[in-house]
């Protein structure tokens, strides 16, 4: 067997008998991995005269990029908006548990909280690669507190804030630090929001529009200043109206700057968005749809009372409400469930459903050169799935980090 040691001593793994999601299509090819990266087999054969050290038969599985969840408030009894002494062990638990649902990277999300919570929690969140310990952390998503009282949803009103004279300084004082922040959700109709959006964008932070009563022109202005995302489309915003479609109108706006794409999150759990609304959004702007779980601490737990930041929530089946109300408060659906529901509700292709949870969030965050695809030289974060899109195994950097128990299959 020809040696591949001239270039690297690392072993080469060849995944065979599989269908790979590449270039928006399931292709019957082998997947080659070395040192945590997807390898180009032609370069290996012709330039290095190398071959595989290990071959793995995937038994006709689908191989897709790992899922990326950019809005997850917690799960398995852990609430990211609660400042606790063992916060790090909580985030470790969630990152470990979501591997079984195909999530290989995520943005821990904090709902509107007092400044003291941000000051205590944010220094404990650090960007890190995934591995056997759990999914990678891409940075925090701060949902609020600069949002509309009218569309606060499950956010506690006493925590909400407005921008005063030194708008960006207000934001910095509230959060304490932006070092590990990846996304900020705010209401674009707020006075001085434009300068805040510009400042955040300048720092490479994704600005998302949500929990808002903005009209379409206010939303378009926010996008022109740098906003690129909509937080859980249809939820906590003005409903679509034919004379002023509000934030929803961004999906077909002709005022989006050239070369820019607006993405929008959708909670595809069968509760937050009617399947018809899911279909409307997807058909209007398919390349912008990003599946998010918006999962709360109760995900993975029995029905009953749990927390979401400063609030108590009740879980009844897949419904989660602020205790004593009928106000929806996040979801308990897992990402793989959202992918399956999205495909079933829209009738879209398997490829489209998988890319909404992988490629699109990677594009939103500007990391599609390394995550969200199986292109050569990208990170070898991928899933094996069956034809029903149930996750059978999860890999990070080419290493198996979770596998379905054969007895449970």
* 22-81 per-position pLDDT tens digit: 999 999 999 999 999 999 999 888 888 788 999 999 999 999 999 999 999 999 999 999
- The boundaries of every CATH 3.20.20.140 domain in the chain are 66-365
Q: What stretch(es) of the chain map to CATH 2.30.40.10?
A: 12-64+373-403
pLDDT digits (tens, 9 = 90+) for 175-186: 999 999 999 999
64 known member of a binding site = no
Q: What is the pLDDT of residue 406?
A: 63
Beta strands in 8-139 (DSSP E): 12-22, 25-27, 31-34, 37-38, 54-65, 67-72, 74-75, 78-79, 103-110, 136-137
Residues in the chain predicted with pLDDT less than 70, given as ranges, are 1-8, 406-409
Per-residue model confidence (pLDDT) at position 409:
42
Q: Residue 166 is encoded by which pair of tokens?
A: 């030194």
pLDDT (0 to 100) of residue 7: 55
Q: Please give the structure tokens belonging to residue 208.
A: 């998302």
What pLDDT is stored for residue 165 in this prediction?
Answer: 87
pLDDT, residue 78, reads 96
Tell me which residues are annotated as active site. 294
- The pLDDT score that the predictor gives to residue 1 is 42
Rounded Cα–Cα distance for residues 109 and 389 (Å) = 26
Q: Does the annotation list 52 as a binding residue?
A: no
66-365 is a CATH 3.20.20.140 domain: yes
Cα gap 167→282, rounded to integer Å? 35
Under 8 Å CB-to-CB from 143, ≥6 apart: which residues?
71, 109, 110, 111, 112, 155, 185, 208, 210, 211, 231
Check whether 399 is labelled as a binding-site residue: no
Asked if residue 212 belongs to a known ligand binding site, the reply is no
pLDDT at residue 5 in the model? 45
| Annotation: CATH topology of 12-64+373-403 | Urease, subunit C; domain 1 (2.30.40)
Residue 392's CB: how many other CB atoms inside 10 A? Answer: 18
Contacts of 264 (CB under 8 A, 6+ apart): 229, 230, 233, 250, 251, 281, 285, 288, 289, 290
């Amino acid at each position: 067997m020809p040696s591949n040691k001239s270039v690297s001593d690392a072993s080469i793994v060849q995944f065979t008998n599989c269908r790979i999601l590449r270039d928006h299509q399931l292709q019957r090819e082998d997947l080659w991995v070395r040192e945590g990266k997807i390898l180009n087999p032609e370069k290996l054969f012709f330039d290095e005269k190398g071959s595989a050290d290990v071959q793995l038969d995937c038994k006709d599985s689908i191989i897709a990029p790992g899922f990326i969840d950019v809005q997850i408030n917690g799960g398995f009894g852990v609430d990211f908006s609660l400042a606790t002494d063992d916060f790090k062990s909580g985030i470790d638990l969630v990152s470990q548990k979501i591997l079984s649902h195909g999530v290989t990277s995520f943005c821990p999300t904090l709902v509107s909280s007092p400044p003291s919570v941000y000051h205590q929690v944010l220094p404990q969140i650090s960007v890190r690669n995934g591995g056997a310990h759990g999914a990678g952390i891409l940075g925090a998503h701060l949902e609020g507190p600069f949002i509309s009282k009218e569309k606060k949803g499950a956010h506690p009103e006493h925590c909400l804030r407005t921008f005063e004279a030194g708008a960006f300084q207000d934001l910095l004082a509230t959060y304490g630090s932006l070092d590990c922040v990846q996304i900020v959700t705010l209401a674009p109709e707020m006075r001085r929001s434009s300068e805040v959006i510009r400042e955040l964008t300048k720092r490479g932070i994704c600005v998302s529009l949500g929990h808002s009563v903005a009209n379409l022109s206010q939303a378009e202005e926010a996008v022109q200043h740098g906003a690129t995302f909509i937080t859980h489309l249809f939820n906590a915003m003005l409903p679509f109206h034919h004379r002023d479609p509000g934030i929803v109108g961004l999906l077909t706006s002709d005022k989006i700057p050239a070369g820019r794409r607006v993405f929008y999150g959708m909670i595809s759990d069968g509760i937050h968005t009617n399947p018809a609304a899911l279909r409307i959004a997807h058909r209007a702007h398919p390349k912008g749809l990003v599946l998010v779980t918006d999962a709360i601490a109760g995900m993975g737990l029995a029905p009953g009372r749990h927390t979401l930041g400063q609030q108590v929530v009740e879980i009844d089946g897949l419904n989660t409400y602020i205790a004593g109300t009928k106000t929806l408060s996040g979801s308990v659906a897992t990402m793989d469930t959202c992918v399956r529901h999205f495909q079933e509700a829209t009738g879209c292709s398997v490829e489209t459903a998988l890319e909404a949870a992988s490629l699109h969030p990677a594009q939103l965050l500007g990391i599609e050169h390394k995550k969200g695809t199986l292109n050569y030289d990208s990170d070898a974060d991928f899933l094996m799935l069956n034809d029903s899109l149930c996750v059978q195994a999860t890999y990070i950097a080419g290493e198996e980090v979770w596998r379905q128990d054969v007895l449970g299959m």
